Structure 1
């Protein structure tokens, strides 16, 4: 009989110990703060830029255009000659489209007040721009071919096309981007080099963890993070992974992100190991990215 009493006491003691351990795991505790994470953004900008703003480019090096019906055959041919001229000297390609990125008109363009910083008076330039941090991404550019072409080469049309690519006037009388046109002006080598540098980066997304802060109370983690797309292409699908002790604790479908867009994710009371003192976030997509080096953020208990 004593044996069964002893066995019963042992079982009760074990149950009590398990209950106390379970209670310890789930009892409220003082909040534990984690380090705050902010992405270190250090994009290479040219020492000198010939553009309205540094790092202006279209999403892809293949750029679409549309010529307005009000353009004469002469001006249409001038523009096509300008396209051929730039294609032969740069890594850019142009193609005609009914859904264009560059709209070519043959009359004056009166810029909207919000566009005046990018338009050269009466000529045109980028008109819809998204600041994606890494690049100022041009979605729409406008060209006005109203000035007559008096040279054998398409000086005026090349000048206007370069404006639509984000390039400003310069003070070199021998440059094709000098405000006053002369038939002897040339396409500057530094413009060719700048175009090559800008468009050598492929059209791809660039997901990153922009910021991340968290606190833990007992076994429950609460956090807020901002994810962003600093790239040149929309992301169709993405997922955010919460990693603790080298294991994926939870995944969140963060879906699509447009160029330059951000999403804030706020999570409360996610159950985690009580002893956890470090948490890692990783934003992933199966699509191509400019770089994946900024896809993760790791923070520790303060």
Structure 2
């Protein structure tokens, strides 16, 4: 081996050692900042459910719970035995009418329950023209997050003011459960979601169709690149990426593969990400042996994690 070759070899070894010790990698957690309220609507990202759900009014576009059953705690100290039974009957009716898509389970703790049902003796009245309308119940989601694909309900609340309306079915409890599920008031007077209750109202086929469409997507995560950029200086890459979870449940720990000119040069561990949250990653001084003309970032490159979509797991970049 010539002296020149020895010097080249030493240079490459030292350069590799330098790169090994000076690769800087940072990660920043993106908090849940997109909790929705009545003034917000769902945003879309690189992928979205292709189906339309507006066969019946919803409180928010594409609103749903992550998974079933929904745990319910009834404040029995405030509710009569009749009201407690009406809540149970309403749960069973929703489960039966939706063929088990919507289901419930009892909870022994209000702090652990998904939905808390409380009963109040007095309610406010609303004047509508010459009529005075007395509220008989209130209900709906109390915590909703916009993941990008869905408006994800995590908590709900129901107040019952009247124990019975003289109907053979618990119309009030069924109606308020509908709000907790995510349904808005319907203009159809035959619908149980109509603003004014009538004993003959039903969970209509339109409601069932909407629920079937919303819950046709399984409870899975969906990771995607919200943003990414790359630059190269001499033999070093500088990467910035934002990865978010627009799915329904927490993602599993996985990794992101950095592939330069067809070869993996870095595998980045990726912790579990909650729905509507994300991570910002920054990597500096990532050594590469030549100019990078083809750079790819791949989430879960070995496909170990089930997701709603896999088509958004890769992004191609041209380093600047």
Shared fold, TM over 0.5: yes
Match of 2:201 in 1: 185
| Alignment RMSD | 2.7
Matches of 2:52 and 2:179, distance apart in 1: 18
Q: Per-residue deviation at 1:154?
A: 1.6
1:176–1:187 CA contact under 8 A, matched in 2? yes
TM score, norm. by length of structure 1: 0.81
Matches of 2:48 and 2:306, distance apart in 1: 21
Matches of 1:177 and 1:109, distance apart in 2: 22
Q: 1:81 aligns with which of 89, 93, 113?
A: 89
Q: Per-residue deviation at 1:42?
A: 4.0
Q: Answer yes or no: is 1:199 the counterpart of 2:207.
A: no
1:50–1:168 CA contact under 8 A, matched in 2? yes
| Secondary structure of residue in 2 paired with 1:85 | helix
Matches of 1:108 and 1:277, distance apart in 2: 71
| Secondary structure of residue in 2 paired with 1:95 | strand
Q: 1:217 aligns with which of 230, 233, 239?
A: 233
Q: 1:250 aligns with which of 266, 279, 290?
A: 266
Q: Answer yes or no: is 1:146 the counterpart of 2:161.
A: yes
Match of 1:106 in 2: 119
| Secondary structure of residue in 1 paired with 2:178 | helix
Q: 1:94 aligns with which of 89, 94, 104?
A: 104
Match of 1:298 in 2: 316
| Secondary structure of residue in 2 paired with 1:276 | coil
Q: Following superposition of structure 1 onto structure 2, how do residues 31-42 of structure 1 map, counting pairs within 5 Å?
A: 40-42=46-48
Closer/same/farther in 2, CA of residues 142 and 214 from structure 1, 3 Å limit: same
Residue-by-residue CA offset, 1:184-225 (whole Å, 9 max, x unaligned): 112121111111111121111111111111111111100100
| Secondary structure of residue in 2 paired with 1:161 | helix
Q: Structure 2, unaligned stretches of length 5 or more? A: 17-44, 124-134
Size of the aligned set, in residue pairs, is: 270
TM score, norm. by length of structure 2: 0.77
Matches of 1:124 and 1:258, distance apart in 2: 26
| Secondary structure of residue in 2 paired with 1:123 | strand
Q: 1:58 aligns with which of 49, 52, 65?
A: 65
Matches of 1:200 and 1:299, distance apart in 2: 34
1:109–1:122 CA contact under 8 A, matched in 2? no
Match of 1:157 in 2: 173
| Secondary structure of residue in 2 paired with 1:164 | helix
Q: Per-residue deviation at 1:78?
A: 0.7
Q: 2:290 aligns with which of 243, 268, 274?
A: 274
Q: Structure 1, unaligned stretches of length 5 or more? A: 1-9, 27-38, 111-119
| Secondary structure of residue in 2 paired with 1:193 | helix
